[in-house]
């Protein structure tokens, strides 16, 4: 009977020993790994993201250039890895074009109406109110209607950015035409 009992304990002891050995090996591997390094799951199956390293994609990244009527995407290339990031930065630059056009309109109106100080201030306040409303309508249009616009199939985010760039360019041109030096 004792011999039978000893045989039962021996597989348990072997399992315990194997578990202890596996824990020691895994613990040593975990201690050797860099604790600050992000965990990568199947790195050979998933391409690196644009923010993974600056060195590997720095040569591929397009410079961020303000959009124009001829180049509405600035210097962004659709086939580039950072297409959407570049497009988002270009959309932010197009917001800056609207801000600059508004500032030029304020200055042009102030130069035309030198005799009365109240009129340029009134224009500036009215332009600020109209601008806030216009930006709200632009954002609403680009968030809700851009998905339904004609054009090649594209992700919704890309369509929204394209809509924002297009409307910003139109707004800047309208402000220049209506209130600029030539208007």
Among 1-5, 40-44, 126-130, 179-183, the minimum mean pLDDT is found in 1-5
Burial call 111-136: b when 16+ CB within 10 Å, e when fewer: eeeeeeeeebeebbeebeeeeeeebe
DSSP state letter for 79: T
Among 47-56, 76-85, 115-124, 162-171, the minimum mean pLDDT is found in 47-56
**80 or 171, which is more confident?**
171
User: HSE on the CB side for 79, CA within 13 Å?
Assistant: 0
Chain mean pLDDT for the chain: 80
Ranges of H-type helices in the chain: 2-32, 54-57, 83-112, 118-144, 156-179
Residue that has been written with the tokens 């596996």 in this structure: 22
Residue that has been written with the tokens 């601008």 in this structure: 131
User: 69 pLDDT exceeds 60?
Assistant: yes
* Domain positions in the chain: 95-179
pTM here is: 0.65
pLDDT for 183: 52
Q: Mean pLDDT, to the nearest integer, of 161-177?
A: 96
């Amino acid at each position: 009977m004792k011999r039978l009992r000893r045989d039962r304990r021996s597989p348990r002891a072997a399992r315990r020993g194997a578990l202890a050995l596996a824990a020691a090996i895994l613990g040593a591997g975990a201690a050797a790994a860099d604790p600050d390094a992000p965990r990568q799951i199947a790195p050979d199956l998933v391409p690196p993201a644009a923010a993974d390293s600056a060195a590997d994609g720095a040569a591929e990244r397009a410079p961020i250039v303000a959009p124009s009527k001829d180049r509405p995407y600035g210097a962004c290339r659709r086939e580039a890895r950072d297409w959407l990031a570049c497009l988002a930065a270009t959309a932010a630059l197009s917001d800056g074009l609207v801000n600059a056009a508004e500032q030029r309109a304020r200055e042009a109106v102030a130069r035309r109406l030198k005799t009365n100080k109240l009129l340029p201030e009134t224009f500036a306040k009215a332009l600020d109110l109209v601008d806030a409303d216009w930006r709200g309508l632009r954002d609403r249009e680009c968030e809700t209607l851009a998905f339904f616009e004609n054009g090649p199939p594209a992700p919704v985010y890309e369509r929204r950015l394209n809509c924002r760039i297009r409307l910003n360019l139109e707004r800047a041109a309208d402000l220049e035409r209506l209130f600029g030096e030539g208007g």
